[in-house]
Structure 1
Amino acid sequence: MSTVSPVKGTPLPTPLPWPGLLALSAAAFTAVMTELLPAGLLSVMAPAFGVSEARVGFLVTGYAAASFLAAIPLTAVLRGLPRRPVLIGTLLGLACADALVAVSSSYALTFMARLLAGAMGGTLWAMLVGYAARMVPAGRRGRAIAIVLAGITLALALGVPAGTALAGALGWRTAFGALAGLAVLLALFARWSVPGFPGEPPYARLPLIRVAARRGIRPVLSVTLFLLLGHQVMYTYVAPFAAHMGFAHTGLLLAVFGSATVVGIWITGVLIDRHLRTTLLAALSSLAAVLVVLGLSAGAPAVLIGAVAVWGVAFGGAPTLIQTALVDASGPADADVATSLQTTVYNAGIAAGSLAGGLALDGMGPGALPWTALPLVAVSLAVAIVGRRYAFPAVRPSGPAVESPGRSGPAARTVRPGVMR
């Protein structure tokens, strides 16, 4: 039975599976909240454990390190299991980790809980994009991924400030307890709303090295790495750079950036399925231009605010564009493995970019930050330009449409948009 237009007899677009996509987006939101919430609570968590604020900051570092180290091996171990139980298990793992932090009076136990959270977060990030890609027709894949990754933007723009405010009103333990409860509720919602796809049977599992060797994968990972390097050089040290520009309100600047990322991901959602390459090149070019402007505009607060707004719009959509290109290059069936590679590269970019920015700040002062970041972003732009054939083609592959839940192997089938079989 075909779903066709009563006017022209052409297939109507398949509706997006909103409940399932929103569940995945909420999972992304929860993971980012779990990762970053301690950063806003350094001064109130430190006395509870009798440690310095710097050691509380290591709770964020520990999460990132565990995510970095666990994404690839855990994805490899779990790729044969049905997808929905793995998703629910990672959410419950996050809930346990957040609950442990909420009740722990030991810094060592809290740090171990953060390592568990990081391992769960790395596993979750490796599967979210691939899950979304398997739920929709190929022609709507970009929009579905944009919806899922909007959870990151909402966590940065709204979630972390709201969690910090809740901690200020009711205590930081309450904030972590609420986050644990949210993860449990989300696991229940995912059980109802997310389709149950099978894992990969042994004969269908490509070794990780063969997935990484596909022609389009390495350019996408290179763009990811150099973009995050350049971004983190500036973002990690935005406070001293704002002071260098004569602007003392770092919180307002971050609010401008966060709000602009919402606009960026909305624009990306509109354009990505038809104009992925053009939109990505525009975003990377805008980031490079922003860095030039910031490097040439010392002592101009108005320029700083405008540049940060453009930066937010450009960066807000970039992760969605890159992840969609990665799924196009790997295919939805191998997207979990490819995304585990990207998760590792992403966290490496964050760590190395922060280190590079710190070295530039200490050695040359805040005015050197844009010029340190610029060549890194320029490399990402250059790779995206030359990767036209395999990684970022002008015309995206149409590929299989929607995978039927619960089946795999030779008997698995795909459902074309507008056609029910």
Structure 2
Amino acid sequence: MTLKATRQRKSGWPSVGALAGATFTVVTSEMLPVGLLTPISHDLRITEGTAGLTLTVTGLVAAVSAPLLIPALTKFDRRAVLCALMALLTAGNLLAAWSPGFGVMLVARVLVGIGMGGVWAVAASLAVRLVPPRSVGSATSLIFSGIAVASVLGVPAGTYLGELIGWRAAFAGAGGLSLVVLAALALSLPSLPSEGDARLGAMLRLAGVPKVRVGLIVVALIVTGHFAAYTYVRPVLEEVSGVSAGQIGTLLLVYGLFGVAGNFASGAGAARSSRVTLLVLGGTLSATMALMPILGLTTLAAAALLAVWGLAYGGVSVASQAWLLMAAPEAREATSALFAGVFNAAIALGALAGGLAANAAGTTSVLWLGGIFAAGAVLVLTGGNRKGLTNARCSGRRAHRRV
């Protein structure tokens, strides 16, 4: 390592903080419709299930853009790439704030999806390049804490703002925040030339490595289940628990606060055993979603279940990223792109499946559906062949050399 790189790593924490701001902003931008589905559907004259497509479209686009942007932009400095993607995110949020109809809103959400997929794929792999090796785990948890903090501040703040002065103001605020983060990235990040040649074909071969494949399947199941239910958490709370519109933001804040705690607790747990951590998280999510329509019949009970839900889901990103980076340590950016692609595809699939279930069988059905998917992830983890996962390291090394 050069002297310049060593100094860069010693002074990399402001850059890590800016990257945490970026993950916070992209997830806030993606998730804003969750707390605003009702007013969006009323204003644009669509059903709540249709309004949920604003989340589905963003997730699908992010899923596709994450693995495609990395190879396409392989020759460009990562600092410039992140700034360009944040500018695109800004444009998408401001267009959503202005949108006169559902068609324009979908175009805006496509722009948000492109920006989100690219930012997530690039940012997730940069901690190791910005801080000393002993601090990589903490830096990675901090970067991913932006996801959990988005639940604490971003989504509830958007919900409160939507109640006070309208849902369009929430999207305009997200656009302004995107500009601030863009400036922070431009000022704090050093030059970060692309590492290696993350070709699409090599990424697909990497996905065939057994341990990587298991990790991606688990991510897909947990995230699909979560978003099948969480996308429609506002109508669930209103119909099942009798929560008033003014209390929604407070309950989402409870969820988010416990999500932040779950992020750091799971980061520490994943450093010891990512498999055990994911087992606990998947099992807890499945049980919590299944219990919500049975026990969450009051505001207080709903708040308690949301706290457990947040604690469990808050750790999913950092624990699954730890699993995948350990499965493919020599292909960090390619693995992060696969992770971002699968994660966001699962967000889209979950939102779509939840919308179909809500329209066909009622709001409560999304909770049962989410619990089934999370239980599937537990089955994958418990039924996996440990010997096969151990031997996967050998095949993984061969795949890494081709990435």
Specify the TM-score bucket, using the shorter chain as the normaliser: 0.7 to 0.9
The CA distance in 2 between the partners of 1:285 and 1:237, in whole Å, is 21
* Structure 2, unaligned runs of 5 or more: 1-8
- Give the aligned residue type for 2:260: V
What is aligned with 1:351? 348
Secondary structure in 1 aligned to 2:125? helix
Structure 1 residues 138 and 210, CA gap change in structure 2 (3 angstroms): farther
The Cα of 1:28 is off from its aligned counterpart by 0.9
The Cα of 1:278 is off from its aligned counterpart by 3.2
The Cα of 1:44 is off from its aligned counterpart by 6.4
Q: Which of 377, 381, 405 is the aligned partner of 2:374?
A: 377
Structure 1 residues 184 and 238, CA gap change in structure 2 (3 angstroms): closer
The CA distance in 2 between the partners of 1:159 and 1:327, in whole Å, is 27
The Cα of 1:223 is off from its aligned counterpart by 0.5
Secondary structure in 2 aligned to 1:200? coil
After superposing the two structures, state which structure 1 stretch, 376-385 or 166-175, moved more: 166-175
The Cα of 1:137 is off from its aligned counterpart by 4.6
The CA distance in 1 between the partners of 2:238 and 2:345, in whole Å, is 28
What is aligned with 1:73? 68
Q: How many correspondences in the alignment?
A: 382
User: Are 2:121 and 1:126 aligned?
Assistant: yes
What is aligned with 2:320? 322
User: Are 2:269 and 1:271 aligned?
Assistant: yes
* Structure 1, unaligned runs of 5 or more: 1-13, 400-408, 410-421
User: Are 2:234 and 1:236 aligned?
Assistant: no
Rg larger in structure: 1
The CA distance in 2 between the partners of 1:263 and 1:391, in whole Å, is 29
After superposing the two structures, state which structure 1 stretch, 360-369 or 85-94, moved more: 360-369
The CA distance in 1 between the partners of 2:296 and 2:162, in whole Å, is 36
The Cα of 1:182 is off from its aligned counterpart by 2.7
The CA distance in 1 between the partners of 2:253 and 2:54, in whole Å, is 24
- Give the aligned residue type for 1:214: V
What is aligned with 1:3? none
The Cα of 1:224 is off from its aligned counterpart by 0.4
After superposing the two structures, state which structure 1 stretch, 124-133 or 202-211, moved more: 202-211
1:338-384 Cα offsets, whole Å, 9 max, x none, are 22222232233233334444555566656655544344222212323
The CA distance in 1 between the partners of 2:322 and 2:26, in whole Å, is 20
Q: Which of 310, 330, 338 is the aligned partner of 2:308?
A: 310
The Cα of 1:319 is off from its aligned counterpart by 1.4
The CA distance in 1 between the partners of 2:218 and 2:110, in whole Å, is 28
Structure 1 residues 348 and 160, CA gap change in structure 2 (3 angstroms): same
User: Are 2:169 and 1:207 aligned?
Assistant: no
Structure 1 residues 289 and 389, CA gap change in structure 2 (3 angstroms): farther
Q: Which has the higher helix share?
A: 2
After superposing the two structures, state which structure 1 stretch, 67-76 or 147-156, moved more: 67-76
1:103-151 Cα offsets, whole Å, 9 max, x none, are 5657655543332221111111111111124334555433222211111
Contact 1:384 1:392 survives alignment (8 Å): no
Q: Which of 277, 280, 287 is the aligned partner of 2:278?
A: 280
RMSD (Å) for aligned C-alpha atoms: 3.8
Q: TM-score, normalised by structure 2?
A: 0.78
The CA distance in 1 between the partners of 2:226 and 2:320, in whole Å, is 15
After superposing the two structures, state which structure 1 stretch, 207-216 or 103-112, moved more: 103-112
What is aligned with 1:64? 59
The CA distance in 1 between the partners of 2:234 and 2:187, in whole Å, is 43
What is aligned with 2:137? 142
Structure 1 residues 351 and 274, CA gap change in structure 2 (3 angstroms): same
Contact 1:284 1:380 survives alignment (8 Å): yes
What is aligned with 1:181? 176
Structure 1 residues 378 and 156, CA gap change in structure 2 (3 angstroms): same
Structure 1 residues 304 and 392, CA gap change in structure 2 (3 angstroms): farther
The Cα of 1:222 is off from its aligned counterpart by 0.5
Paired-residue identity, %: 30
The Cα of 1:83 is off from its aligned counterpart by 1.3
The Cα of 1:296 is off from its aligned counterpart by 5.7
Describe how 1:19-418 pairs up with structure 2 within 5 A. 19-38=14-33, 40-41=35-36, 52=46, 58-102=53-97, 108-166=103-161, 175-202=170-197, 207-239=202-234, 241-242=236-237, 246-249=241-244, 251=248, 252-291=250-289, 293-294=291-292, 297=295, 303-331=301-329, 334-358=331-355, 360-361=357-358, 369-385=366-382, 386=384, 388=386
1:22-77 Cα offsets, whole Å, 9 max, x none, are 111110111122223355556766798x7547676544443233223322222221
